A and B are shown apart, each in its own frame.
Chain A
């Protein structure tokens, strides 16, 4: 009886704590939602009351900038990045985790070292490389990286995952006459769906929200992405917070949908790899 009550109290405390943290983490989003319904002047007052629900903010935010075109452009870049990252990062990670070759560990450390380089250092040299390739004002600089390994962090994450899988699986397949690529594609890839979903989500978030890449590489407004388009509300003539927030809410929706769709895999990926997202 006593232990039952004790368990109840612990449960109650943990629920209260969870509610507290949920509210704390949700607060910025709620604030964003509230601001999107206010006028720009009302926004300055830290009230929780919205004097009037201004749905027209959403219509204006969608029409002041060519929102549809920006969305399509962003989807193109994001889709290529997701596909590229999943394909190339898994191949590289497999090679680092399961294949034996000379200098493997040294190259792995070199690859990890690329994570230490701040992007500001590589910004201008990379820009000059893409300029010489005549790729400026195209989507290539924004997507090509994901087909060439997909980023050190993703490779690292997948490598750790591949390492946890038992070697016997590969050996059994080899005995049955499977090639290395067959083992990779038929056995290891299906087993690491949670990790693949995790990097797909990371890749989606990264390229959906990428602002700096499109800013420096694109010079044709018809090719702009949403992240770049949103900046129209923050300019020399002032900041239109209400429109910015309305447009941001709409922009966040695909991320939310995708997160909830992949949630099952995503959480599994985190638990299995031991890496917090």
Chain B
């Protein structure tokens, strides 16, 4: 399968600390690839670097290609304009705006190859937001905020959607709901790179999974293969095998 996203030998350094060490990841069209690992493994740093986004000033080397185009030197808003859209961990919405304003502030870029979602399309994906459309985001629950964050990302007509720990802080029932929505989007043709600390949940929806430890990929495979992998079972699934 030709890769929509091709990340090769990515290294991210904060000062003397190497947070991501030579990671290569590929995501095909209509594929959901998960990156899992413990806290501090470098998962968020990896996807932030892929999106060209950071709240710090890391030194990034390696290549990031989207549909064959080198986007590694572009600013985050330019990458977003090309369809490489990140939903960051934690604060992914403007709290001071309503749900509708958050969705409307994003305009699909002209001539995009991604599917443009109207505000109504987003509300069809997340019907729960329909009744909260006029509510300020600061008043929403964690799950609703995550839906707004994903919804605004869909408005940007993503070709590749990167989701950084969408299940953090959510009740188990909401984790399932959010991840099911994500899987539905992939089944409809979207490509997703999902960062998830909850390996069990990630394996439920992912096609393939990379295990990250101390900035390096230590195991990779299809979801089925990774469920059988002893290291994954012991470290993340609470025992050997299903």
A and B associate: no
Please give the residue numbers on chain A whose beta carbons come within 8 Å of chain B beta carbons, in ascending order.
Answer: none
Please give the residue numbers on chain B whose beta carbons come within 8 Å of chain A beta carbons, in ascending order.
Answer: none
